[in-house]
Structure 1
C-alpha cells in the first residue's frame, strides 16, 4: 500500500472511531460533521437510515463511557482515489456485529457515505 493510501485508510479509521466515541455520539453537530449529506445505512436491525434519522439513535445514551463499543479487526482499503472501505467487528452489550463502511473525501474532509451492520455470532458460539 502506498503512503498516500495508508494515510487515507488511517484517516477513515480515525473518523470511524470518532463516530463510535460516546462524546461525539452525544453531539448531533459532531455526528453530522462526519456523515456525508447523502449518507445511508442498513442497520443490523435491517432498518434503513439517513443522516437525519440516524441522529435519533446516536444521542440516545446507549453508547456511553460506562458501556463503550468494543472494536476489533478493523481494516481498510482504498477502492479509488478518495474512497475508502472499512470492515470490522463491534461488540456492545453482548451483541456482535460485522460492520462495513464507505468513506469519501470531500471538500470538508472524510465523511461516511454508507454503512452496513450485519449481526454476527459471538466468538466461541
Structure 2
C-alpha cells in the first residue's frame, strides 16, 4: 500500500525518475479513459510538456490481498476533482522492490440518495 500511495503523489507522478522506480518493465494499464497504456506510454503522457499538472488524489476503501508470494492485489477508490474511479492494482516484488505490474481504473458516479 505504501508504494501505491507514493505513486498517487503528484510529485512522484510528475517526476520521470520517481515514476520509473515504481513501474514494472512489463506494466500495463486499462485507464479510466478506456485506453490501454504500457510503461513507456504512461510515462510519456504524464511527463509531456502539455500534460496538465497532476492534481491531488484522495483514496478510500483501500485493501490488499496477497495472491501468491511476491504478488499483491490492491483495490480502492479515488477522487480527483470531479472524477471518481474504482481501482485495481497488481504489485509484484521484483529485485527486492514492489513494482506496479497492472492497473485498471473504472469511472463511477455517486448516486443521489433519495
Q: TM over 0.5: same fold?
A: yes
Tell me the residue number matched to 1:69: 57
Tell me the residue number matched to 2:82: 94
Tell me the residue number matched to 1:48: 36
Q: Report the 3-state secondary structure (helix = DSSP H, G, I; strand = E; otherwise coil) of the residue aligned with 1:54.
A: helix
Residues 9-30 of structure 1 deviation map (CA, whole Å, 9 limit, x = unaligned): xxxx110111110111111111
Flag structure 2 segments of 5+ consecutive residues without an equivalent: none
Report deviation, 1:124. 3.7
Report deviation, 1:85. 0.1
Aligned Cα RMSD in Å? 1.4
Which deviates further from its counterpart, 115-124 or 32-41?
115-124
2:99 alignment partner, one of 88, 111, 114: 111
Report deviation, 1:120. 1.3
Report deviation, 1:74. 0.6
Structure 1 or 2: more helix by fraction: 1
Q: Does 1:37 align with 2:25?
A: yes
Q: Report the 3-state secondary structure (helix = DSSP H, G, I; strand = E; otherwise coil) of the residue aligned with 1:53.
A: helix
TM-score, normalised by the number of residues in structure 1: 0.82
